[in-house]
Amino acid sequence: MISIPVDLEGRRYDVVIGSGASRLLADVLPSGVRQVAVVTQPGIDVDIDPGVRAHRFELPVGEQAKSLRCVEELCRGFAREGLARSDAVVALGGGVVTDVAGFAAAVFLRGVPYVNVATTLLAQVDAAIGGKTGVNLEEGKNLVGAFWQPVAVLCDTSALDSLPAREWSCGYGEMAKCAFLGKLLDPTEAGSEEWLWLHELPLDEQIARCVAIKAAAVTADERDGGERMLLNYGHTLAHALEGARIGGGANWDLRHGEAVAIGLMFAARLARRLRRIDDERVALHRKVLHSFDLPANLPPGASARTLVQFMARDKKAQHDLTFVLDGPGGVQVVPGVPEADILATLAEMGCAP
């Protein structure tokens, strides 16, 4: 097993990675827990034993579960079962489950402890770590939520054995992002080609490397006001693509990691237009995406104006169009990007007006 600490002011929790990590659930629950609410989805076949009485709650499959209605239903279920503030919520599943269950835990009784048992690659390298919880609105993705840190994260790699190919893509998109974020661990790695060896490591170590990058960002900036914003690399367009599907009538079939991959390609092209990077660096982005067998092109029928509208609602925006972009010193937050450059970059990628 590999254990990566997330050190926060006055608090700490561990992310445990390895085959069979879910068997540690009873050991990581806070003392005094008498019962747990296990939040999961149909089809998640991972056995857990919390060592105390457990109540099972199933969310709908897919992004439709990320709704305020589902959070309300969970909280009402917690109340019916008599869940106390000294008890705990266990999120058993992928990023949708950890986002929704974590948010329900954050607001029920004004906060109960929760543990993430991550069963997808996306959850293990990103979604289950860092305490960002939330749900979607028709107006955009993850617009309602809370910062509520888990007491532990268990990444059981044996749960990935039956993961469908598209779900691997979800996680690979976040791993491709991490290829450009080495400076979060070491400032001297800002321009290095980390992906060359990251992709070739054993799976447990690939996951651990990504977890270490996220843990460093969360430790430095828990509430997403500075360095942690770098973790949004590729996500501004990704969330716009997802938002357009949720509330904008778009019918493309993109998983989160695939949308992030397209967002990384867009961010590289935008950085080149702004003269922050050169053609060679753009080509490196494409090479990284290819190494993970990820898409780099916008889906057919994408509307530039619609995507810009959703980009402006991005969580990190400060009443302007803010992006995380590559540059001479590595990836940085760049506020106030001119809309004309965004539209021109989208057009360069074949996007309709």
- Fold designation for 168-348: Dehydroquinate synthase-like, alpha domain (1.20.1090)
Write out pLDDT tens, residues 298-330.
999 899 999 999 998 775 556 678 999 999 989
Give the total residue count for the chain. 353
Nearest one of 282, 283, 278, 286 to 328, comparing CA atoms: 278
10 Å CB burial of residue 88 (0-12, 13-18, 19+) is buried
| Residues 156, 147: Cα–Cα separation, whole Å | 24
What's the pTM? 0.90
Residue 315: per-residue pLDDT: 56
Residue linked to tokens 């919520």:
89
CATH number given to 2-162: 3.40.50.1970
Quote the crossing angle between the two packed helices 235-247 and 304-311, to the nearest 10°.
Answer: 110
Record the tokens describing residue 347, joined without a space.
Answer: 């057009």
Going by their DSSP bridges, the two strands 323-325 and 332-334 should be labelled as: antiparallel
Residue 352: per-residue pLDDT: 86
Write out pLDDT tens, residues 247-301.
767 888 899 999 999 999 999 999 999 999 999 999 999 999 998 999 999 999 8
Boundaries of every domain in the chain: 2-162, 168-348
| Residues 327, 334: Cα–Cα separation, whole Å | 10
| Residues 218, 24: Cα–Cα separation, whole Å | 24
Write out pLDDT tens, residues 98-117.
999 999 999 999 999 999 99
Write out pLDDT tens, residues 62-76.
889 999 999 999 999
The single-letter code of the amino acid at 36 is V
pLDDT band at 192 (very low <50, low <70, confident <90, very high): low
Per-residue pLDDT at 162 exceeds 90: no
Residue 140: per-residue pLDDT: 84
